[in-house]
Amino acid sequence: MYKIGFLGVGKMGSSILLGIINSGIYKKDDILIYNPSEIVKEKFKEYRFVENEKVLAENVEILIVAVKPQIFNDLKKYEYSLQNTVIVSIVAGKTIKDLESVFGNRLFIRVMPNTPALIGYGATAISKDPAVPDCVFNKVKSIFETVGKVKDIDDNLMNEIIPTNGSMPAYLYYFAKSFIENAVKHGIDYETAKILASDAIIGSAKMIIETDKSIDELIKDVCSPKGATLEGLKVLEDNNMNKIIDEACDACIQRAYELSKL
Ligand SMILES: NC(=O)c1ccc[n+]([C@@H]2O[C@H](COP(=O)([O-])OP(=O)(O)OC[C@H]3O[C@@H](n4cnc5c(N)ncnc54)[C@H](OP(=O)(O)O)[C@@H]3O)[C@@H](O)[C@H]2O)c1
């Protein structure tokens, strides 16, 4: 038996795979993969691949299901004969019931990770099904802890957390890109703007976590009365940035519910 199997090593699966290899908790020999694409096989040629989903699931202790929700139901094409395999799903929207419909009555853990797991800065939400013993849950949780922060969350909130962690990198990249574009428009070179904007995001995130100030206090600290920051903030407020973000998050959650029905 291999310690851990990856059903799909696309953008998210590969971030977890490479993150845990970089962390040193698993070696390449501990890992088994199934992914149909030849390009992916070439990219991960130092790892052992198997010929199909069934062989993978039947030969690993922990199976990380990292396929798109759209192809999830294709996994039903096999009768899986599993020993003690624990199924860990990162598939957006797919519930324990959906997982049971594929793998039968097993131990399931749902996880919502994000791609910074690749560099050890992941933010992962994990939910515990009552059927899963603590020792199994803690083992899986500790895997994700090697690639960033992990928070327990109620299983029925796994879709609601997606904009806050799973999708958040995309929103922040979008945000960062807009600021960098503005700097470039004003004549600042792209690399300089990229470094300063990125470090401003890292520093601000650390201020939220490491100081005991509220987010409102932190905002106030940057906005001197009648100062430049405040003028910019007024434009965001006048354009209902808060409402736009709220709607974006709701649309993301709504889509997760739609994906669960595919
Ligand atoms: N991307 C994120 O930031 C993120 C964050 C949190 C959760 N997730 C979840 O992670 C899952 C994967 O998302 P992704 O962004 O990583 O997508 P992706 O890049 O498309 O990766 C999916 C991988 O699965 C492979 N695949 C297709 N059919 C397969 C099969 N039958 N068995 C095994 N592998 C198969 C694909 O190979 P081909 O290239 O050959 O199609 C691809 O490499 C989704 O369910 C998503 O909800 C993603």
CATH of the domain at 31: 3.40.50.720
Convert the pLDDT of each residue in 15-48 to its tens digit: 999 999 999 999 999 999 999 999 999 999 999 9
Q: Give the mean model confidence (pLDDT) for residues 46-51.
A: 98
Helix axes 241-260, 228-238, angle to 10 degrees: 50
Q: How many A from CA of 72 to the centre of ligand 1?
A: 10
Res 185: pLDDT: 98
User: Considering only CA atoms, which of 235, 14, 227, 222 is closest in space to residue 118?
Assistant: 14
Residue 31, φ and ψ in degrees, nearest 5: -115, 140
Chain centre to alpha carbon of residue 237:
29
* Element at 89 (helix H, strand E): strand 86-89
Q: What is the pTM of this model?
A: 0.95
- Taking the CA of residue 34 as reference, the ligand 1 atom at the shortest distance is 33
- Taking the CA of residue 9 as reference, the ligand 1 atom at the shortest distance is 43
DSSP character string of 210-250: HSS--HHHHHHHH--TTSHHHHHHHHHHHTTHHHHHHHHHH
Task: Please determine, for residue 261, whether its predicted confidence score (pLDDT) is greater than 90.
Answer: no
Res 262: pLDDT: 81
- Ligand 1 pocket check for 32: Cβ under 6 Å: no
Task: Please determine, for residue 93, whether its predicted confidence score (pLDDT) is greater than 90.
Answer: yes
149 lies in the same domain as 195: no
118 lies in the same domain as 207: no
Residue that is last in its domain, among 95, 129, 157:
157
Q: How many A from CA of 22 to the centre of ligand 1?
A: 21
Residue that is last in its domain, among 157, 192, 217:
157
Q: Give the mean model confidence (pLDDT) for residues 167-187.
A: 98
Q: How confident is the model at residue 13 (pLDDT cuts 50, 70, 90)?
A: very high
Res 105: pLDDT: 86
Convert the pLDDT of each residue in 231-254 to its tens digit: 999 999 999 999 999 999 999 999
CB neighbours of residue 7 within 10 Å: 24
Structural tokens at position 217: 């206090």
Structural tokens at position 1: 């038996």
* Mean pLDDT score across all residues of the chain: 96
Q: How confident is the model at residue 260 (pLDDT cuts 50, 70, 90)?
A: confident
Q: Which of 67, 78, 253 to mutate to test the pocket of ligand 1 (most atoms within 8 A of CB)?
A: 67
d(C-alpha 252, C-alpha 161), whole Å: 10
Domain that holds residue 207: 168-260
Q: Give the mean model confidence (pLDDT) for residues 77-86.
A: 93
Res 235: pLDDT: 98
Convert the pLDDT of each residue in 209-235 to its tens digit: 999 999 999 999 999 999 999 999 999
| Residue 78 in domain | yes
Say how many domains are in the chain.
2
Q: How confident is the model at residue 90 (pLDDT cuts 50, 70, 90)?
A: very high
Q: Is the dihedral of CA 10, 15, 16, 21 positive or negative?
A: positive
35 lies in the same domain as 133: yes
| Residue 94 in domain | yes
231 lies in the same domain as 136: no
152 lies in the same domain as 41: yes
Structural tokens at position 77: 């094409």
